[in-house]
């Protein structure tokens, strides 16, 4: 993982994102871009002003990706033949806002094609001028993790020399209405793993990394993606498996691919949505996986700061892990104050903590019983 670029509610580039996470910034605010008056909850991690590079881009989803890519390109150049550079991005929503527009009367042919979930990935590939595979993963909120994994596989199989991989999603009325109807959104603060947690808030953003084979990365790198794994719950259309079996399988597969064991892990970036069910199940899985070291390994969630950025979440969390290893600082779990006996782990409360993790685990879960895990190593 050579470099990264982001656009998020706590910062419009990588440096601002990282500073915001370390400072414990709360990026959640009243939503201004679309009508929320008829919804129970009208707050989220909204990006109030996109960087100028996005001007003129047809959809907000593509604009987020391009903003993150522009940030990435300030840190690394794409030195490979265009047909040998791939794009792999994860998303839960793709171009769904364009579908709303198309149904609302915009009958242009382009609007209809922009409504397909793979449209933003192709817009990104076109903006980058790359001609390799352009892959869209949509395993709900686990999409970003699987996208990073597939990107690494393309390199391993020599299908590409460079891969721009990550995830994105936008806050739009479609998704806010959906989560509002399911009563998954909190009217209070997002409090991952906290005793008083009462739900999630959604956020928007994009996180992209530049992946290269070890021999091509040169001296500059953020870290390494050592392994990835995925698994299906096969239990419920929307709720996670009560025992978290799919998540555990994904973690074990990622560790096996990395050639590592639970005892090697120094830090976990949890999915940690702040819902009653997710946080309890995820804690139980992590306690099983980590075993006797469960209370020693720091486990944070950055969703209290950003909201749940869906397809972007895993990519942003992977980037956070690598920055933590680089700088020797773990961002706190914003909103976590009162321990819950059902979520008994070291959740990095309060302020950022000095620690220099080497091997890190990032976990993701999504609608449809999607589970994914990444094992990362700092540079």
Partner 1 sequence: MRVGACAAAVGVLTGWGEGVAALPAEARTAAGGQPVIRLTRPALDGERFRRATRECLLGVAAVQQMLRDAELSREAIAGPRTALLFVTAGAYGASNVEFIAGRAGTLHFPYTAPSALSAEVAIEFGLTGAYVILIGGPTATVDALWQAARLLQEGRCDRALVLAVETFDECESLWRRARWSLQAPLVEAAVCALMVPGADRGPVVGAGQNGALEAEVQTRAGSTLSCGPLLALALARAAGAGAATVTGTWRGRRAAIEMTTTGPAVRS
Residues in contact with partner 1 by the rule CB under 8 A: 91-92, 94, 96, 99-100, 102-103, 107-109, 111-113, 115-118, 122, 131, 133-140, 143, 146, 150, 153, 157-159, 174, 177-179, 181-182, 229-238, 245-246, 249, 253, 257, 366-371
Residue 236 DSSP SS3: coil
Q: What's the rounded Cα separation, in Å, for the pair 29 and 174?
A: 18
Question: At a CB cut-off of 8 Å and minimum separation 6, what does 52 contact?
Answer: none
Q: Would you say 348 or 365 has its CB closer to partner 1?
A: 365
Q: How far is the CB of 173 from partner 1 (least distance, A)?
A: 9
Q: Would you say 203 or 304 has its CB closer to partner 1?
A: 203
Output b/e per residue, 251-290; b: 16+ Cβ within 10 A: bbbbbebbebebebbbbbbbbbbbbeebbbbbbbbbbebb
Q: Active site residue: 228, 308, 321, 370, which one?
A: 308
* 330: DSSP letter: E
Q: Would you say 13 or 204 has its CB closer to partner 1?
A: 204
Confirm if 45 and 27 have CB atoms less than 8 A apart.
Answer: yes
For residue 249, what are the CA distances in angstroms to 135, 165, 321, 332, 366?
24, 23, 21, 27, 15
Q: Active site residue: 141, 172, 321, 343, which one?
A: 141
Confirm if 206 and 166 have CB atoms less than 8 A apart.
Answer: yes
Q: Would you say 245 or 347 has its CB closer to partner 1?
A: 245
Q: Would you say 35 or 108 has its CB closer to partner 1?
A: 108
Q: Would you say 153 or 337 has its CB closer to partner 1?
A: 153
Give first-to-last CA distance, the chain, whole Å.
Answer: 9
DSSP letters spanning 146-194: HHHHHHHHHHHTTS-SEEEEEEEE---HHHHHHHHHTT-B-SS---TTB
Q: What's the rounded Cα separation, in Å, for the pair 179 and 197?
A: 16
Which residue stretches of the chain are H helix? 14-23, 60-73, 96-103, 109-114, 119-128, 143-156, 173-181, 214-217, 245-258, 276-290, 303-306, 313-327
Active site residue 122: no
Active site residue 271: yes
Q: Active site residue: 172, 271, 347, 370, which one?
A: 271
Active site residue 370: no
Q: What's the rounded Cα separation, in Å, for the pair 308 and 35?
A: 20
Residue 5 DSSP SS3: strand
Query: Which sign does the torsion angle of CA 344, 139, 146, 174 carry?
Result: negative
Q: Would you say 96 or 343 has its CB closer to partner 1?
A: 96
- The residues assigned a catalytic role are 141, 271, 308
């Amino acid at each position: 993982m050579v470099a990264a670029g982001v656009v998020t509610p706590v910062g419009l580039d990588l440096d601002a994102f990282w500073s915001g996470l370390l400072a414990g910034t709360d990026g959640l605010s009243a939503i201004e871009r679309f009508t929320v008056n008829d919804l129970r909850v009208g707050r989220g991690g909204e990006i109030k002003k996109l960087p100028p590079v996005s001007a003129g881009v047809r959809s907000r989803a593509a604009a987020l990706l391009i903003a993150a890519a522009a940030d990435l390109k300030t840190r690394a150049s794409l030195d490979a033949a265009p047909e040998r550079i791939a794009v792999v991005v994860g998303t839960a929503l793709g171009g769904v806002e364009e579908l709303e527009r198309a149904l609302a009367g915009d009958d242009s042919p382009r609007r209809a094609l922009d409504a397909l979930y793979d449209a933003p990935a192709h817009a990104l590939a076109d903006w980058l001028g790359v001609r390799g595979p352009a892959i869209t993963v949509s395993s709900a909120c686990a999409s970003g993790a699987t996208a990073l994994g597939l990107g690494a596989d393309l390199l391993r199989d020599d299908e590409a020399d460079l891969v721009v991989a990550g995830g994105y999603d936008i806050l739009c009325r479609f998704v806010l209405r959906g989560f509002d109807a399911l009563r998954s959104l909190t009217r209070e603060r997002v409090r991952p793993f906290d005793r008083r947690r009462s739900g999630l808030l959604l956020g928007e953003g994009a996180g992209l990394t530049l992946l290269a084979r070890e021999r091509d990365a040169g001296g500059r790198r953020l870290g390494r993606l050592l392994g990835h794994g995925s698994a299906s719950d096969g239990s419920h259309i929307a709720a996670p498996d009560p025992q978290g079996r799919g998540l555990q399988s994904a973690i074990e597969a990622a560790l096996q691919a990395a050639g590592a064991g639970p005892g090697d892990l120094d830090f976990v970036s949890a999915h940690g949505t702040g819902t009653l069910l997710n946080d309890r199940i995820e804690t139980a899985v992590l306690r099983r996986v980590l075993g006797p070291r469960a209370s020693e390994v720091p486990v944070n969630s950055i969703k209290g700061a950003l909201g749940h950025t869906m397809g972007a979440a895993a990519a942003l969390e992977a980037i956070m892990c690598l920055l933590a290893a680089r700088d020797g600082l773990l961002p706190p779990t914003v909103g976590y104050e009162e321990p819950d006996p059902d979520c008994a782990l070291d959740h990095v409360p309060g302020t950022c903590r000095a620690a220099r993790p080497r091997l890190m685990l990032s976990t993701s879960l999504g609608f449809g019983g999607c589970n994914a895990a990444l094992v990362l190593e700092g540079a």
